[in-house]
Amino acid sequence: MSDTRKGRQTPTQSVVLPYEHTKGLEATDLYNTCGRTALEWQELLIADIMATTDDGLWVHQKFGYSVPRRNGKNEIVAMREFWGLVNGEIICHTAHRTTTSSSAWKRLIKILTSAGYVELGRKKKDEIPPEKSFRCNKQHGLENIVLTNGGQIDFRTRTPNGGLGEGFDLLIIDEAQEYTDDQEAALIYTVSDSKNPQTIFCGTPPTATSSGTVFVNMRASCLSGSAYDTGWAEWSIPAKTDDVYNTELWYETNPSMGAHLDERKIRSEIKPKELIDFNIQRLGVWLTYNQKSEVAESEWMALKADTLPKVRGRLYIGIKFGADGQNASMSIALKAEDKIFVESIDCQSQRLGNGWMISFLKEADVQAVVVDGQSGAELFLDECKEAKVKPKPVRAKTGEVCTASTMFIQALAQQSIVHMGQPSLTQSVCNCERRAIGTQGGYSFKSMMEGIDVSLMESMVLAHWICAVSKERRKQKIRF
């Protein structure tokens, strides 16, 4: 029967370095003392993650894994953290959102208390704590847990400079699909002083609005065999499918099928208009790029910089309200020597309002803002006027949108654009085709794949255009 059938317990793709010893069995036994029972796939994966050399060092200094949602991938992290605390490690658990890091803290607190650990009060400074005890900071966004033996874990939201100056034995990158290069630059050295460091990346394949690049690059280097001291595991199908009701695919990509996931639950998740999202979130698809796209993947990635280029001047902002009225996207452009650097800020549902864009415009050092889109643009401009946003956003005319699109295609050919390879922006750019606008043969772009929002690309094209045509103001020099 389908209710008793198990999902695939081993990854569909993995890179695990050879090992003879592992601390994974210890972690599993310890985890099971809290009243929970690790599933078979969790036992196998934690054994690989916690493999050790003959000298007791971690075989994998870095280990990344991707599992579709609601399978219990965060329990793997909790198992590793519980063992680390008991064995005196100093740990940092980072996430993209504060709510996520806070939930991870609550999960670990529940595991500790269920395993018999007691939270100590703070009334008596000379209080001698029992062996299985802990203290914690409950301040939202600054949560931590400290065991009597010195084991400690801090829970933090990632920022470009968060973690500088701190040192840890174990670094957890939760929501790894959102982990950016600048965040990695701030955190990568925080485990360097440890005698036996380890970094664990936990996430899902990036969606069209994910901003991270590190997880994608890590996967690529592992599967190509070019990574060192690094492990990888994923449950996925190799390409997007329209046959989303194929239950065989569900069992292939969801290891917790037959435990807390079943066919009925997954069937209820399918939405005909959001098949791309189902492919990513439930079937673990890592999107590839359309070979018939107006912009080829090879052409776009040839313009990717390995490090952030030296930029100058103020920000040029492009904002696009999607033609379908669903989302709004914002991108930036900056002058970088003889090129123009572009990057997307975010793509959010119009239902959430325009506050996120207005806040960004008021806080950033902005030179010019250009807006396009029939649905939502007028309301946005009115809200900017009421909020006294400076400089005043300008609405692009149809002819200007056509010019922006043409300039973008020319800039690709001239290789005068540079970017950092954002997966969300790359997906949008490398899955597009032209769409005619106006009456003079002009064009903009539309997406070739359902679920990939072309407004990300269009906002970037606008930002590039306004940056390219704007002249820098030079300070007037007065000589006597």
What is the set of domains in the chain, with CATH numbers? 13-281 (3.40.50.300), 297-469 (3.30.420.240)
Does the pLDDT at position 128 exceed 60?
Answer: no
How far the first Cα of the chain sits from its last, in Å, is: 92
**Does the N-terminal peptide bond of residue 391 adopt cis geometry, omega within 30 degrees of 0?**
yes
Residue 141 pLDDT: 86
As a whole number of angstroms, the distance between CA 447 and CA 383 comes to 29
The pLDDT value given to residue 250: 97
pLDDT at 163: 63
**Which has more pLDDT, 476 or 306?**
306
Over the stretch 174-188, which tens digit does the pLDDT of each residue have? 999 999 888 998 899
Whether the CA torsion 75, 80, 86, 90 is positive or negative: it is negative
Burial class (CB in 10 A: 0-12, 13-18, 19+), 190: buried
Range with lowest mean pLDDT among 78-82, 114-118, 123-127, 259-263: 123-127
Angstrom distance (rounded) from CA 333 to CA 425: 13
**Residue 199 in this model has a pLDDT that exceeds 90:** yes
What pLDDT was estimated at residue 125?
47
At residue 208, the pLDDT reads 67
Q: Write the pLDDT tens digit of every residue in 209-226.
A: 677 889 988 998 999 898
Task: Evaluate if residue 25 carries a pLDDT over 80.
Answer: yes
**Mean pLDDT calculated for residue range 249-273:** 94
Residue 480 has pLDDT above 60, yes or no: no
Q: How confident is the model at residue 472 (pLDDT cuts 50, 70, 90)?
A: low
Reported confidence tier of residue 2, pLDDT bands at 50, 70, 90? very low
Q: Give the pLDDT score at 127.
A: 57
Q: What is the mean pLDDT of the chain?
A: 90
The pLDDT value given to residue 287: 78
From 373, 399, 421, select the one nearest 465 (Cα to Cα): 399
pLDDT top residue among 65 and 4:
65
The total of other beta-carbon atoms located within 10 Å of residue 29's CB is 12
DSSP string computed for 310-351: --EEEEEEEEEE-TTSSEEEEEEEEEETTEEEEEEEEEEEGG
Q: Which residue has the higher pLDDT, 423 or 30?
A: 30
DSSP 176: G
Q: Is the pLDDT of residue 76 over 80?
A: yes
Give me the pLDDT at residue 206, please: 87
List CB contacts of 146: < 8 A, sequence separation 6 or more. 134, 135, 136, 152
